[in-house]
Structure 1
Amino acid sequence: MEQLQIGKIKLTWLNGGVTHLDGGAMFGVVPKPLWTRKYAVNDKNQIECRTDPILIEIDQKKFLIESGIGNGKLTEKQKRNFGVTEESKVAQSLQQLGYTTADIDAVLMTHLHFDHACGITKIEGDDYVSTFPNATIYTTDVEWNEMRNPNIRSKSTYWEKNWRGIEKQVETFEKELEIYPGIRMVHTGGHSDGHAIVIMESEGEMAIHLADLLPTHAHQNVLWVMAYDDYPMASIAEKQKWIPFAAENNAWLTFYHDAVYCAIQWDKDGKIVDVLKRQVNVEI
């Protein structure tokens, strides 16, 4: 498992599963001859998109960013359509670190689309229950409201089985919330109306998780946004804000989906300063 130290904060990428999503959807209006120079594509026009939660450890506290693709919650048709080649092994990843899912103190959900939220509940008998029974689950109030009352477009990604059973664990916020000293969530909108990012600071070092505003390193160009984005102009505006902010603060940008890098540092000119590469084989 890949790890990154940010001051006193230790980040570890868990195995949350693998999807392969349509490249045209992932890069929106960007012509294929351009985006294929930046990111590999298969013969089905799909790009590999991991769904790996990030474990945050500080002061004996254990938080997760996102929850993975889950297990046994997708139909065979959904697995085929979303190119799922591996389901979550989050519990196994935690076990390898000496932890269990009950040890997680909080789950920081940037948004609640199925590929981020399927891992937050699990099947138990004929019902769905919380995967992380002792965790507080944080998300924006806008996101939580739409999750339970999706519109004609968002109902394809906000599923009842991903929220039923965790209601008592959820705490929402409006604009910004400090989860723990040095760790905060900020509501951005863009990809979804309730989308948020995570900023981590410790001992003068910083990491920023832009979630699906920056799904892969190939989305560095602020104009390269997904067709999945509900509010693409908001996504562009937030990228214009946070990518330069990261460069100014020598911050790492962390990824949930990128199949090449776990994290990257760019300078103010957009040149790579440092990277944390994915391991070739992440199976556990």
Structure 2
Amino acid sequence: MESLKSGDLTFHWLNGGVTHMDGGAMFGVVPKPLWSKKYAVNELNQIELRTDPLFFQYQGKNILIESGIGKGKLNEKQKRNYGVHEESSIEESLEKLGLTTSDIDIILMTHMHFDHACGLTKYEGDKLVPVFPNAEIHTSKVEWDEMREPNIRSRNTYWKENWESITGQVKTFEGEKEVLPGLRMIHTGGHSDGHSIIVIEHGGETFIHMADIMPTHAHKNPLWVLAYDDYPMTSIHAKDKWINQAIENEWWFLFYHDAVYRALKWNRDGEIVEEVPRK
């Protein structure tokens, strides 16, 4: 389990499973000879994308960012289509930290696509129940509304199995929300209409999780957006704003999907100056 420690704040990456998605879709209109130099691709033209939640303790609360791919939620066809070679083992990861899923107080959901939200619920027999029964689940109002009433495009990724049993736990916001002092969720749109990023300011350091508008370090170029993005120009504008601000001010970038880096810092010349590699 990789960790990033800064003062009295430590991020731990839990084992949330993995997907392998089409590289062309993940890099949109960018030609393969360009993106394949920056991120490994297999013989099926798929790239590895982890789905590993970030856990940290902050101001007396046990917090998760995202929830993983889940366990026992996907059928064999879905596993094959999404390249799911490994499902979540969140309980085991938390056990190593001396915790259980019941100890989680807050979950920050940047958006509710299946590869982020499947880990919120699980089957007990033929009934779906919350995995984190005592947690507040924060997401934008726009995202939560579309989750429950998806359109013809988004219904393939917003599944009722991932929300029906957690409705009493969800807390929504519009625009921007300070969940705890120094911990903000900011609605950006782009990847989905309700997509948000997370910014944490603590102990003289700032950490940014840009979620799926920059799912890997190879997506650093603001123009390299996903074919999956519902509003690509919105993604481009948000990336340009936040990436430049983060690099200028020497912030840490935190990743959920990246199979190479858990976290890193770039300098103004685009060089990686600090890193937490995935082992």
TM-score by length of 2: 0.98
1:81-124 deviation per Cα after TM superposition (whole angstroms, max 9, x unaligned)? 00000000111100111000000001000000000000001111
* Aligned-partner residue type, residue 90 of structure 1: I
Structure 1 residue ranges (4+ consecutive) displaced by more than 4 angstroms after TM superposition: none
Query: Matched residues in 1 for 2:98 and 2:268: separation?
Result: 39
Match runs of 1:52-91 below 5 Å: 52-91=52-91
Instruction: Give the C-alpha shift of residue 249 in structure 1.
Output: 1.9
Q: Which runs of 5+ in 1 are unaligned?
A: 280-284
State which drifts further: 131-140 or 260-269: 260-269
Structure 2 residue aligned with 1:105: 105
Q: CA deviation at 1:230?
A: 0.3
Measured in 1, the distance between the counterparts of 2:246 and 2:188 equals 15
What corresponds to 2:226 in structure 1? 226
The match for 2:144 is 144
Higher mean alpha-carbon deviation, 94-103 vs 7-16, is at 7-16
Q: Is the CA contact (8 Å cut-off) linking 1:191 and 1:231 kept in structure 2?
A: yes
Identity value in percent:
64
Match of 2:128 in 1: 128
Is the contact made by 1:6 and 1:206 (CA closer than 8 Å) also made in structure 2? no
Does the 8 Å contact 1:7/1:201 carry over to 2? no
Distance 2:32 2:186 in 1: 32
Within 2, Cα distance between the matches of 1:244 and 1:273?
A: 16
CA contact (8 A) 1:148 1:163 kept: yes
Structure 2 counterpart of 1:282: none
Q: What's the C-alpha RMSD, in Å, of the aligned pairs?
A: 0.8
Tell me which amino acid in the other structure corresponds to 2:266: W
Shift of 1:126: 1.5
Does structure 1 residue 156 correspond to structure 2 residue 179?
no
| CA-CA distance at 1:9 after TM superposition | 2.1
Distance of aligned partners of 1:183 and 1:6 in 2 relative to their CA distance in 1, 3 Å threshold: farther
Which amino acid in structure 2 is aligned with residue 137 of structure 1? I
Deviates more, 1:269-278 or 1:14-23: 269-278
Instruction: Report the count of equivalent residues.
Output: 279
CA distance in 2 between partners of 1:265 and 1:272 (Å): 6
For 2:14, the equivalent position in structure 1 comes to 14
Match of 1:169 in 2: 169
Once the two structures are TM-superposed, the CA of residue 2 in structure 1 deviates from its matched residue by 0.8
Q: Which runs of 5+ in 2 are unaligned?
A: none
